[in-house]
Structure formats: structure tokens, C-alpha cells
């Protein structure tokens, strides 16, 4: 029964209906499942293993950067939100509230949609002197935003897991520099580990974080022509410090307001991986993030079974620096196993049967290209290393190619509209005004400015929509 269900594979092509395809891959590769609680999802072990690898990688980065992990309460008193006006306004529609069971308290408690307010209340108590700065803290936790009814697995749900970093500095310059540094670490995670190329930029006034001076972002571009915001880093200026009374005594023995930033990415990154690299047979995982890098499938016959399984164990031992699994289940056929490991996106499959043992070789099959290699045992280690490296690069290059060739520079509103229809990345001069952006979104049924790219060319052009002076070029497109 299970066999029948699983081998059915994905019933729709990625190119034909990406949302349908995406949902099927997530369910059939057992990354996640729908939950009986509206708007929420269940992260299954295979999906969580990817998130764990992301956490492990990023924790080593945090340690190098002197950022320490901590944990703050899930509940935030209502009055904390109101201390920073823009922040309160930005988040209020999304906040879930808890019924306060204490008879002697009327105060409503929010379930954290983000933790600036609850953390900075403590920062005000902890920070006294310039010796306490910079303070760099992070937490891995769940957050709740009520916005959505219909969950999109990993991409949009009422509860998700994330990391949120919150730092405090003496100077604006230090704060600026590190705001960009964390963004660049995000870009490195996406590009070098997940093989997902991104554009780096600043958000418009309309799209920036509620309460920030400015927001920077990394944006991936999915194969169906939609952007996916993958991480943001906010320079918060001094607004929260003022609102929460964070002060420090400087070397000059006077009181000063510090500067702050916050930055986060979420389990959404798992969704980015799936969309970016998957194909019509399922998931395709870059080796550096794959929970299992190599699946060994023995070709079992009754009389050679023992020898074949012994060869598998030796192989696994030889490849002990990788995550290797031996699929020795006897209730499934080799062909069924091939399909399953393909569905799960395992980068390399190694097949080994009695004939291979005779020839002192194994058969290696790449998940990304399906190319088959007959490899002598003495060359195995090198070949595996080379292939894994090559898969990692190939996946990035393919995605990067798609991103680059999707960018079109437009001069006029007509060109803009045509590019929206073509699902391109639109590169155009933009005034940056909120009102103008609202109108663009309205006229295009959803395209908005994704960011002002960090690298800018000088422009004296006019805004592509309203014709007023354009400050900068921006990228536009629809988004998840």
C-alpha cells in the first residue's frame, strides 16, 4: 500500500504549475505536512534536519562574530508595543493575544511576532557603560503572525521558526557597518551553502521594517519569476533606545543613546531550496545542506546478499566524512528505492551489486543531471568529492544564470508592464515614494519594489511610474 502511494511520484510538472508542484514535493519528500490548526504547519524530520543544518552552520558564524544565543519570553505585555509607535502600528494587525488568567491583572499579553520590545526592555537594565557595548545577542525561537489563513508550507504560516539577532552599538558608523555585515553573512549562507543566488539591497519606505531607520534585504528569484525575501537586516537607529530608555555612560562620562540593529531569517529558507532546485522527480538538495549526501542502494540477490551488504558497509566506512545511508530494506525493490532517494533529493546514489563487486567498482548516479559513473574503488574517494563539489556549483550556476538573464532594464511604463507579464526582474529608476509604489502594485496586480540594489549607477532619470526625480534604480517584481 505504502509502496503504491509513494511511487506515484509528482503528478504535475514544475514548469506547468509551480505552486501545485511545490506542495506535492514538500509532502512526498516528507519535509512538512499540513496541520489541523489553521494557518500552521508541521515540520517533519527530513525538513527539520535541513533547518538543523542551517542552524548549525549559522551558529558557528555567530560564534565567530561574537554574537551570543539567549532566550526571551514568548509573551509580550501590550504596553511594550505602544512604546515605539511605528512598530506598534506595523505589527498590530498580526498580533495574537493570550487570555490573561490572572485575576489581578487586566493586561493583555501578545505572543511575540518579533522580540524587539521584550528584549530591549532588558537591554535597558543590562546596559550601563560603554564597556557593555557592543552587545550582540541572538535567539532561535518560534514567532506568531496571524496574517495568513491559508498556509503555504515553509513560505507563509501563522507560526514559524527563525533566528533574530539584536545588537547595540556606541556609534552609528559601527551600527551601519554591522547591519551590512549580517546581511552579507545571510547572502553567504544562501549562495555558498544553499546554492541560492540573491540580490542584495535596501527596502523602500513602504517595505521597510516597522520602526527601522532602514531595512536591507536579500532576495532570491524563483524559477516561476517571483521573488522570495530570504533575510532582512534592519538599522533601527536610536528610536527603540529612546522608547525603552537604553542609555550608556561613554568614555566621556556622559550619558548617550546607543544605536541598534536587528536581523532575521526563518524556516522559509527551506522553501527557497525546494523551489530553486527541485525538478519533476522531486527535491534536489545541494550537498552542503543535504542531511543525507549519499544513499547506498545494494542490488540484492539471495546468494550474494551477504557479500553485497559487507561491501556496502566498507563503502560507508570509506566515506565516513559524509552523511551516508545504506538502504538495505528488503521489502522494497531497488527501483523503488532509486525513486525514493530521488524524491528526497539526495545528491549522490551509489548502486552496488555482485557484478560491481567482481569488477571492483561501484555505480554512482548524480541527482542533478542523472548522469551515471562507473567508478573503480581506488578512485572512489576523489570521485565522490569531485562530484559533490560539482553538484554544489552546478546548482548555483544554473540558478544564477536564470537570475542574471531575468533582469531587464526598462525605461518606460509600457516596458515595465510587459516585463511584469514576462515575469522578469525589472530594473528601473524609482522615486521611492510610498504613494507611487502603492499605485505600481495596484496597476500591476502585485508587482512591487523588492529593493534598491546596493550597487547603484548614477542616474538623472525620472521615476518609471510617476515621472518625478528618481533617487535610485530599484528591482521590481511579484513576490511570494
Which CB sits closer to its own copies, 159 or 356?
159
CB of 122 to its own copies, least distance (A): 6
Q: 300-311 burial by CB neighbour count: b if 16+ within 10 A, else e? A: beeebeeebeeb
Which CB sits closer to its own copies, 345 or 477?
345
CB of 156 to its own copies, least distance (A): 15
Which CB sits closer to its own copies, 132 or 184?
132
* Burial class of residue 21, CB neighbours in 10 A (0-12, 13-18, 19+): buried
CA distances from 446 to 222, 439, 449 (A): 16, 10, 10
Residues that bind its own copies (CB under 8 A): 1-2, 33, 35-38, 40-45, 48-49, 51-52, 68-77, 80, 96-99, 101-102, 105, 109, 111, 118, 121-122, 125-126, 128-129, 131-132, 137, 141-142, 144, 146, 149, 158-159, 161, 249, 331
CB of 41 to its own copies, least distance (A): 7
Contact 109, 78 (CB under 8 A): yes
Which CB sits closer to its own copies, 104 or 302?
104
Which CB sits closer to its own copies, 252 or 331?
331
Which CB sits closer to its own copies, 105 or 370?
105
CA distances from 107 to 74, 78, 111, 116, 145 (A): 15, 7, 13, 19, 20
Which CB sits closer to its own copies, 123 or 430?
123
CB of 43 to its own copies, least distance (A): 4
CB of 96 to its own copies, least distance (A): 6
Q: Can you tell me the distance from the alpha carbon of 165 to that of 180, in angstroms, rounded to the nearest whole number?
A: 13
Query: Can you give 245-310 as a three-state secondary structure string?
Result: CCCEECCCCCEECCEEEEEEEECHHHHHHHHHHCECCECCCCCCCCCCCEEEEECCCCCCHHHHHH
CB of 130 to its own copies, least distance (A): 10
CB of 304 to its own copies, least distance (A): 25
CB of 277 to its own copies, least distance (A): 23
CB of 480 to its own copies, least distance (A): 21
Pick from 189, 172, 117, 115: which is nearest to 145 by CA? Answer: 115
CB of 132 to its own copies, least distance (A): 8
For residue 409, give the H/E element and its range.
Answer: strand 407-409
Contact 362, 375 (CB under 8 A): yes
Query: CB neighbours (10 Å) of residue 331?
Result: 7
Which CB sits closer to its own copies, 163 or 216?
163
Which CB sits closer to its own copies, 33 or 438?
33
CB of 56 to its own copies, least distance (A): 10
Which CB sits closer to its own copies, 119 or 431?
119
Q: Can you tell me the distance from the alpha carbon of 365 to that of 349, in angstroms, rounded to the nearest whole number?
A: 5
Which CB sits closer to its own copies, 135 or 362?
135
Query: Can you give 158-200 as a three-state secondary structure string?
Result: CEEEEEEEEEEECCHHHHHHHHHHHHHHHHHHHHHHCCCCEEE
Which CB sits closer to its own copies, 151 or 470?
151
Q: Can you tell me the distance from the alpha carbon of 120 to that of 69, in angstroms, rounded to the nearest whole number?
A: 15
Q: Which residue has the cell 525575501?
A: 229
For 402, residues 6+ apart whose C-beta sits below 8 A from its C-beta are 221, 223
Q: Which residue has the cell 532561535?
A: 140
Q: Can you tell me the distance from the alpha carbon of 368 to that of 194, in angstroms, rounded to the nearest whole number?
A: 14
- Among left, alpha and beta (phi > 0; psi -120 to 50; other), residue 59 is alpha
For residue 128, give the H/E element and its range.
Answer: none
Backbone phi and psi for residue 22, each to the nearest 5 degrees, phi listed first: -60, -50
CB of 34 to its own copies, least distance (A): 9
Contact 260, 168 (CB under 8 A): yes
Amino acid at each position: 500500500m505504502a509502496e503504491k502511494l509513494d511511487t506515484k511520484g509528482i503528478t504535475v510538472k514544475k514548469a506547468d504549475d509551480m505552486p501545485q508542484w511545490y506542495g506535492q514535493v514538500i509532502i512526498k519528500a516528507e519535509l512538512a505536512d499540513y496541520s489541523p490548526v489553521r494557518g500552521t504547519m508541521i515540520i517533519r524530520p527530513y525538513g527539520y534536519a535541513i533547518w538543523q543544518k542551517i542552524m548549525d552552520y549559522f551558529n558557528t558564524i555567530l560564534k565567530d562574530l561574537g554574537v551570543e544565543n539567549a532566550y526571551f519570553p514568548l509573551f509580550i505585555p501590550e504596553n511594550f508595543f505602544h512604546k515605539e509607535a511605528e512598530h506598534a502600528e506595523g505589527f498590530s494587525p498580526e498580533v495574537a493575544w493570550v487570555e490573561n488568567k490572572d485575576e489581578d491583572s487586566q493586561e493583555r499579553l501578545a505572543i511575540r511576532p518579533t522580540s524587539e520590545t521584550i528584549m530591549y526592555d532588558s537591554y535597558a537594565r543590562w546596559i550601563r557603560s560603554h564597556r557593555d557595548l557592543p552587545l550582540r545577542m541572538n535567539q532561535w525561537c518560534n514567532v506568531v503572525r496571524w496574517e495568513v489563513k491559508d498556509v503555504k508550507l515553509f513560505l507563509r504560516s501563522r507560526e514559524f521558526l527563525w533566528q533574530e539577532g539584536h545588537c547595540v552599538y556606541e556609534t552609528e558608523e559601527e551600527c551601519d557597518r554591522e547591519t551590512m555585515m549580517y546581511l552579507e553573512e545571510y547572502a553567504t549562507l544562501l549562495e555558498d551553502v544553499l546554492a541560492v543566488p540573491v540580490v542584495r539591497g535596501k527596502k523602500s519606505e513602504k517595505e521597510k521594517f516597522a520602526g527601522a531607520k532602514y531595512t536591507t534585504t536579500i532576495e532570491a528569484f524563483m524559477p516561476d519569476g517571483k521573488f522570495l525575501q530570504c533575510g532582512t537586516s534592519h538599522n533601527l537607529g536610536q528610536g527603540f533606545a529612546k522608547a525603552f530608555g537604553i542609555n550608556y555612560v561613554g568614555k566621556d562620562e556622559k550619558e548617550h543613546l546607543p544605536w541598534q540593529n536587528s536581523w532575521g531569517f526563518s524556516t522559509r529558507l527551506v522553501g527557497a531550496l525546494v523551489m530553486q532546485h527541485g525538478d519533476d522527480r522531486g527535491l534536489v538538495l545541494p550537498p552542503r545542506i543535504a542531511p543525507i549526501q549519499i544513499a547506498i542502494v545494494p542490488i540484492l540477490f539471495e546468494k550474494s546478499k551477504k557479500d553485497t551488504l559487507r561491501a556496502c558497509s566498507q563503502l560507508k566506512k570509506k566515506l565516513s566524512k559524509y552523511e551516508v545511508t545504506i538502504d538495505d530494506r528488503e521489502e522494497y525493490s531497488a527501483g523503488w528505492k532509486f525513486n525514493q532517494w530521488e524524491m528526497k533529493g539526495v545528491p549522490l546514489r551509489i548502486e552496488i551489486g555482485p557484478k560491481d563487486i567482481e569488477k571492483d567498482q561501484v555505480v554512482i548516479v548524480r541527482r542533478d543531471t542523472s548522469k551515471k559513473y562507473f567508478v573503480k574503488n581506488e578512485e572512489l574517494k576523489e570521485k565522490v568529492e569531485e562530484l559533490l563539489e560539482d553538484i554544489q556549483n552546478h546548482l548555483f550556476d544554473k540558478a544564477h544564470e536564470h537570475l542574471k538573464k531575468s533582469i531587464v532594464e526598462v525605461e518606460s511604463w509600457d516596458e515595465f508592464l510587459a516585463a511584469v507579464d514576462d515575469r522578469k526582474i525589472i530594473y528601473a529608476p524609482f522615486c521611492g515614494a510610498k504613494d507611487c509604489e502603492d499605485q505600481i502594485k495596484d496597476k500591476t496586480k502585485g508587482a512591487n519594489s523588492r529593493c534598491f540594489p546596493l550597487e547603484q549607477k548614477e542616474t538623472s532619470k525620472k521615476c518609471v511610474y510617476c515621472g518625478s526625480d528618481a533617487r535610485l534604480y530599484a528591482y521590481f517584481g511579484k513576490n511570494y
